[in-house]
Structure 1
Amino acid sequence: MLIAGFGTYDRDRHPRTGIVLDGFRDLGDEVVELDRPLGFSTAERVEMLGKPWLAHRLATRLVRRWAQLTGDRLRLRGRRPDAVVVGYLGHFDVVLARLLFPRTTVVLDLLIFAADTASDRGVRPSAKLRLLGVLDRLAVRCSDVVLVDTQEHAVMLTPTERRKGVVVPVGAPDAWFAPEPPPAGGADGPLRVLFYGLFTPLQGAPVIGRALALLAARGADVQVTMVGGGQDLERTRELAGPDNPLVTWHEWVEPDRLPVLAREQDVCLGIFADSGKGLRVTPNKVYQGAAAGCAVVTSRTPPQERALGDDALLVAPGDADALAEALGSLAADRARVLELRRRAWARADRDFRPARVAAAVRPALTRP
């Protein structure tokens, strides 16, 4: 099959589309990527859509990228792809894909809904939120196949849209996979714990902050690395305590360095929010942490239980004490840590490789 990746997606910021396309390559398909990254973050896009005095920046850059993408179509040398995969955050790009490839199966890697993301980030019911809802519906209408990451997101499609929906786990890029499972045996030194992210509400970072304060008060033998920034960062640092000796904060780690950093840790933290979007997703970091050979500690939600089963340590959402207790217990039981690391890696190797992700998409490309 000839698969065309299409749009303004950014593999570094949002690896999901790259995972799907790499998976098709691993399955033996020919993949051509027509990709012109827009260069705006999700937060910037949402902000510009709601502020007319900023929206022109989005429109201007989008028009330029679309002109480039239209020219890039020549790289197909007149061949018609079997499917066009529009990358994540492609709500606008899928309209152009539909126009340029009117008789081709158009796959939108929707993953999550724009209106739901904006609501999670604090946008109250408004004209802005309604506009994003209309944009979600338009994007789905222009697609033949719509990829979402969990069953909880699939049911957010309308009844008439659900025939297009395919639930596909996010998975992890090949670069994240440790070459082999962690070795058996003991481990010395403090328990090494990693969290990285954009500190958005769905991640529940303040819950981690409260847990870090509890761990410090209990004298736990842990060393925590916190990477990233966003709207909940200041509150998280405040809750953790300004002089917490267990924590090192980093505003940024280069994308190609992050998998290396993860493989140096014992534990990768997932998300811990107890409402809204946090209960509907399984985040990138859970798949990536497992691939890196970390023990995964995250919240006990239906999508994460389905993704990880018994191969992770799950705690009640929103419960800082439960998180602190879980990390403290792992610090005191290194044999269990190594068991969880090996089990997480084995599940990732079996279920989260790009080829497994693409294999879940493939049947939808040939259905009537």
Structure 2
Amino acid sequence: MRWLAFGTYDVERHPRVAVLIEGLRASGDEVVEVNAPLHLSTAARVAMLRQPWRLPVLAGKLAACWARLVVGARRELRRQRPDAVLVGYLGHFDVRLARLLFRSTPIALDHLVSAAGTAQDRGLAGKGGLKHRLMRWIDRAALRRADVVVVDTAEQAATLPAEAADRAVVVPVGASSEWFARGGGLPSPSAGQLSVVFVGLFTPLHGTATIGAALAELAGDDRVAVTMVGTGQDYARCRELAAANPRVTWLDWVPGAELPDLVAAHDVSLGIFGTTDKALRVVPTKVYQGLAAGSVVVTSDTAPQRAALGDAAVLVPPGDPGALAAALRELAGDATQLATLKSSGYALASDRYRPVETVRALRERVHPESKVDR
């Protein structure tokens, strides 16, 4: 197949589309990219909805990106029409342009998160309010223009409106090959201290208040050292809760190219611990990346994460700082368990969540003839 990856996606901020593209290429498909990154994070887009007078800035940036997309799309159409178009993550508006430009071509929309779900998770729009209805309209308008709707879990698929449900395909987020390259060596557990890392945007989804409270419980345990990377909505609260723990290093951010090495250098990678509806439906990118990097993943015990990870990770109840602290203490005191989980986690990720494995269902949905026996 010949795919055209299209949109204003930003692989530095949101690596999901990079995994999809890598997987398609590894499957033998050709992928050309027509990409004009918008360079606005999810948090920045949410901020604009909090302050509607800033929306013209978004419209202006989007128009400039779309002008570049139109030029690139027409160039590719003159060269060779693609068999399918993949609209990258956060493509709620891009899919409208894609449908105008590629009227007769199958379009797959990577609907990793809904606008309504994100707004609700971040406290922007309560159910039934005007903003929530607007976000739902944006979601539905985007979904109507897609022939295939790509989601990452069955729980996310269940939230789609009825008219889109039969077009959904579940594609795990997975991790790119650069993460697996770091984890292949499976370094032995750190001597003396359990090194733990969290990388994220400190949103309610991540449950960083739970992490902060757990760090406070670990303040007297010198066997556990933690690195917290990122900032965001709940950053101040997390740092306030963890203030009593002297073995926490706070980094505002780390460039994306350096993250695989950073995570691989730690024994444990923390996932999410939030209790919001969205937190109970997803398996975040950081979980797959942690497994691929050879770290032990500790994350919340939710239905999708249990199904994706099984016994290859440590699962604790969402929103329970005591359980999280206890899990880290146990790992700090059991080098054998730590080594076993590192090995089993990497093996699981290598078997199921490499890019070429994650895109199987997408290729079969868009082009059934691509189905092959494993």
Shorter-chain TM-score: what band? over 0.9
Distance (whole Å) between structure 1 residues aligned to residue 100 and residue 2 of structure 2: 19
Structure 2 matches for 1:111-190, cutoff 5 A? 111-125=112-126, 126-177=129-180, 178=182, 180-183=184-187, 187-190=190-193
Which residue matches 1:365? 366
Asked whether the equivalents of residues 153 and 280 of structure 1 are also in contact (C-alpha less than 8 Å), the reply is: yes
Which residue matches 1:29? 29
Instruction: Quote the offset at 1:160 in angstroms.
Output: 2.0
Counterpart amino acid of residue 264 in structure 1: A
Deviation by residue 1:110-167 (Cα, 9 ceiling, x = unmatched): 1111110110001133322211110000000000000011111101112221111011
Which residue matches 2:106? 105
Counterpart amino acid of residue 240 in structure 2: E
Instruction: Quote the offset at 1:335 in angstroms.
Output: 1.2
Counterpart amino acid of residue 245 in structure 1: P
**Deviation beyond 4 Å, 4+ runs, structure 1:** none
Aligned residue for 2:99, secondary structure, equals helix
TM-score by length of 2: 0.95
Which residue matches 1:7? 7
Which residue matches 1:64? 64
Distance (whole Å) between structure 2 residues aligned to residue 290 and residue 367 of structure 1: 30
Distance (whole Å) between structure 1 residues aligned to residue 206 and residue 31 of structure 2: 33
Aligned residue for 2:31, secondary structure, equals strand
Distance (whole Å) between structure 1 residues aligned to residue 246 and residue 224 of structure 2: 10
Deviation by residue 1:30-76 (Cα, 9 ceiling, x = unmatched): 11000000011112112324533111011111111111100012442
Distance (whole Å) between structure 1 residues aligned to residue 52 and residue 278 of structure 2: 27
Does residue 224 of the first structure (1) align with residue 262 of the second (2)?
no
Deviation by residue 1:86-119 (Cα, 9 ceiling, x = unmatched): 0000000000000000000000001111110110
Distance (whole Å) between structure 2 residues aligned to residue 262 and residue 179 of structure 1: 9
- Alignment: residue pair count: 365
Distance (whole Å) between structure 1 residues aligned to residue 236 and residue 189 of structure 2: 36
Counterpart amino acid of residue 68 in structure 2: Q
Which residue matches 1:308? 309
Task: Give the superposed CA RMSD.
Answer: 1.4
Structure 2 matches for 1:260-271, cutoff 5 A? 260-271=261-272
Counterpart amino acid of residue 139 in structure 1: A
Distance (whole Å) between structure 1 residues aligned to residue 44 and residue 72 of structure 2: 26
Asked whether the equivalents of residues 191 and 331 of structure 1 are also in contact (C-alpha less than 8 Å), the reply is: yes
Q: Which structure 2 residue ranges, 5 or more long, are not aligned?
A: 370-374
Distance (whole Å) between structure 2 residues aligned to residue 328 and residue 334 of structure 1: 11
Q: Which structure 1 residue ranges, 5 or more long, are not aligned?
A: none
Identical columns (%) = 51
Aligned residue for 1:216, secondary structure, equals coil
